[in-house]
Amino acid sequence: SLTQALTLEGGTALDLPALIALGQAHKIAFLKAIQCLNIATPLGQGLWEGVPLREVLRLCGPMRNVRRIYYRGFHNNDPKQIFQSSLSYTQVMETPPGDPAPFLAYRLNGKPIPLKRGGPVRLIVPWAHGFKSIKWLQRIAVTNDFKANDTYANQNNDPESFLKTAAYLDGAPEKFSAGNPIFLSGLALAGLSGLKRVEHWLHRVEPGANAVVQDDATYRAARWTPCALAAPPSDWSRVLPVGVAAKEVFGFDPKTGQPGTWPLRYSMTSWSATPRNLAPGKYEFRARAVDLNDFAQPEPRPVQKAGKNAVGVHRFEVT
Digitized pLDDT (tens) for each residue of the chain, 319 residues in all: 788 888 888 889 999 999 999 999 999 999 999 988 778 888 899 999 999 999 999 999 998 999 999 999 987 777 777 889 999 999 999 988 888 999 999 999 999 999 999 999 999 999 999 889 999 999 999 999 998 888 888 777 788 888 999 999 999 999 999 988 899 999 999 999 999 999 999 999 998 888 898 888 999 999 999 999 999 999 999 999 998 999 999 999 999 999 999 999 999 999 999 999 999 999 999 999 999 999 999 988 767 667 777 899 999 999 9
Residue 154 CB burial class (10 angstroms; 0-12, 13-18, ≥19)? exposed
Global confidence as pTM: 0.91
For position 304, what pLDDT does the model report?
67
For position 6, what pLDDT does the model report?
86
Residues 6+ apart with CB under 8 A from 168: 41, 42, 186, 187, 188, 189, 312
| Parallel, antiparallel or unpaired: strands 103-108 and 122-124 | antiparallel
Cβ 128 vs Cβ 41: under 8 Å = no
DSSP string across the chain? -BSS---TTTT----HHHHHHHHTTS-EEEEEEE--TTSSS--EEEEEEEEEHHHHHHTT--B-S--EEEEEE---S-GGG--EEEEEHHHHH---TTSPPPEEEEEETTEEPPGGGT-S-EEE-TTB-GGGS-SSEEEEEEES--S---TGGGGT--TTPBPPPEEEEPP--SEE-TTS---EEEEEE--TT---EEEEEEEEE-TTPPPP-TTSHHHHT---EEPEEPPPPS-GGGTSPTT--GGGSTTB-TTT--BSSSSPTT-EEEEEE---SPPSEEEEEEEEEE-TT-PBTTTT---GGG---PPEEEEEEE-
Question: Nearest-CA neighbor of 167 among 82, 317, 318, 291?
Answer: 291
For position 40, what pLDDT does the model report?
80
Cβ 318 vs Cβ 178: under 8 Å = yes
**CB-hemisphere CA count at 13 Å for 127?**
17
pLDDT digits (tens, 9 = 90+) for 104-116: 999 999 999 999 9
Q: How many Å apart are CA 161 and CA 38, to the nearest integer?
A: 12
For position 175, what pLDDT does the model report?
95
Question: Nearest-CA neighbor of 74 among 24, 126, 8?
Answer: 8
Question: Nearest-CA neighbor of 31 among 50, 51, 53, 49?
Answer: 49
**How many other CB atoms are found less than 10 A from the CB of residue 53?**
24
Cβ 199 vs Cβ 226: under 8 Å = yes
Question: Nearest-CA neighbor of 151 among 129, 166, 124?
Answer: 129
